[in-house]
């Protein structure tokens, strides 16, 4: 393998961060190692592990001491399968542990299945490090790493870009002398457009209706008169979606949708979670969370913004039309 000078320097920095006894070296190391991201994972056996199932297993792994669930999990994982590393991006010597991933639930006892979430032991809590699948005939057999599936929104953006390029090519190919012919075809084009619209399937219409009901990330004005910028709400929302409970100390955390005996979001019965909104920044766990929160469901649907008052009470903030 060939290295350029920049690669050599970066490698030296990583090595120095691990070897140096200087306080704060772990922070340097963490900044050089890309943090694993939650999402759907595609495994070598062809299965896709859903993001919510990964999140649920991660939360369980963090909440239990080793071998306290069914007498076996969470348990130490040596990042080895045969003589090969399972997660090649995790530095040697990193202490890891694993916990079973169960579809539409959490592991409590019995057969742990084939899929595992993997964390480290950082801060006696653990950061998410990846997902793997058991491929051997026994529970203690070989494992292979699963890969983060491409975000569906990114795929949609890519499809839209391709469509735009094709449209531009068609427009560019037009000639000035073809105006009369285009006029002759206008009525036919209009008729075709009507037929295409009327032929829309019921599923497509339902999808459009669902999209219309989805709340968009916007600025919010709270009862104390403060207006939180759209970018600040969006930054907090991204952290809420991308992290499991307790990723930043206490946050994200579950929110029971109750304040003083009343629901903050009337009629909402699904499990909600919240994350601090920091005006002009992003909450990192080492500062005061302030009083503003972004709220969403475990289904990763944006619910709204709220403000914390005296005695741990909460009120909705008004989402602004933009």
Task: Write the DSSP string, 112-179.
Answer: --SEEEEEE-GGGT--EEEEEEE-SSSTTS-EEE-EEPPPHHHHHHHHHHHHHHHHHHHHHT--GGGH
Q: What is the structure's pLDDT at 81?
A: 86
- Residue located via tokens 């090969």: 84
- Residue located via tokens 């239990």: 64
Q: What is the structure's pLDDT at 4?
A: 55
Q: Report the sign of the C-alpha dihedral through residues 47, 35, 55, 262, in that order.
A: negative
Q: Peptide bond preceding 252: is omega within 30 degrees of 0, i.e. cis?
A: yes
Tens-digit pLDDT profile for residues 174-184? 444 444 444 44
Tens-digit pLDDT profile for residues 18-38? 444 434 434 434 433 445 789
Q: What is the structure's pLDDT at 211?
A: 47
Q: What is the structure's pLDDT at 276?
A: 97
Q: What is the structure's pLDDT at 115?
A: 96
Domains in the chain (CATH in brackets) are: 41-148 (3.10.450.30), 220-319 (3.10.450.30)
CA distance 142 to 84: 10
CA distance 211 to 225: 30
Q: Peptide bond preceding 212: is omega within 30 degrees of 0, i.e. cis?
A: no
Q: Report the sign of the C-alpha dihedral through residues 251, 103, 43, 135, in that order.
A: positive
Which segments of the chain have a pLDDT < 50? 1-3, 9, 14, 16-34, 174-201, 208-212
CA distance 299 to 315: 22
CA 241 to chain centre: 5
Q: What is the structure's pLDDT at 190?
A: 40
């Amino acid at each position: 393998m060939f290295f350029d000078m920049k690669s050599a320097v970066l490698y030296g920095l990583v090595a120095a961060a691990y070897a140096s006894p200087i306080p704060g070296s772990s922070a340097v190391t963490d900044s050089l190692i890309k943090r694993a991201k939650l999402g759907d994972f595609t495994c070598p056996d062809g299965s896709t592990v859903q993001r919510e199932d990964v999140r649920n297993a991660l939360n369980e792994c963090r909440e239990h001491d080793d071998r306290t669930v069914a007498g076996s999990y969470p348990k130490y994982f040596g990042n080895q399968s045969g003589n090969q590393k399972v997660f090649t991006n995790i530095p040697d010597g990193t202490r890891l542990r694993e916990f079973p991933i169960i579809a539409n639930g959490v592991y409590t006892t019995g057969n742990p299945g084939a899929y595992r979430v993997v964390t480290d032991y950082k801060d006696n809590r653990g950061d998410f490090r990846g997902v793997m699948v058991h491929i051997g005939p026994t529970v203690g057999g070989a494992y292979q790493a699963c890969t983060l599936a491409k975000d569906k929104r990114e795929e949609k953006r890519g499809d839209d870009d391709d469509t735009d390029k094709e449209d531009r090519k068609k427009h560019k190919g037009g000639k000035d002398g073809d105006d009369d012919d285009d006029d002759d075809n206008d009525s036919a084009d209009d008729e075709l457009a009507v037929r295409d619209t009327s032929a829309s399937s019921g599923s497509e219409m339902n999808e459009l209706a669902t999209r219309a009901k989805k709340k968009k990330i916007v600025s919010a004005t709270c009862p104390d008169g403060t207006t939180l910028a759209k970018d600040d709400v969006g930054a907090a929302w991204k952290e809420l979606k991308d992290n499991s409970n307790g990723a930043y100390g206490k946050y994200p955390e579950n929110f029971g949708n109750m304040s003083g005996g009343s629901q903050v979001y009337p009629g909402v019965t699904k499990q909600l979670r919240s994350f601090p909104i920091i005006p002009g920044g992003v909450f990192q766990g080492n500062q005061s969370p302030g009083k503003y929160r972004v709220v969403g469901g475990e289904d990763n649907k944006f619910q709204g913004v709220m403000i914390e008052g005296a005695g741990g009470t909460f009120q909705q903030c008004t989402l602004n039309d933009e």
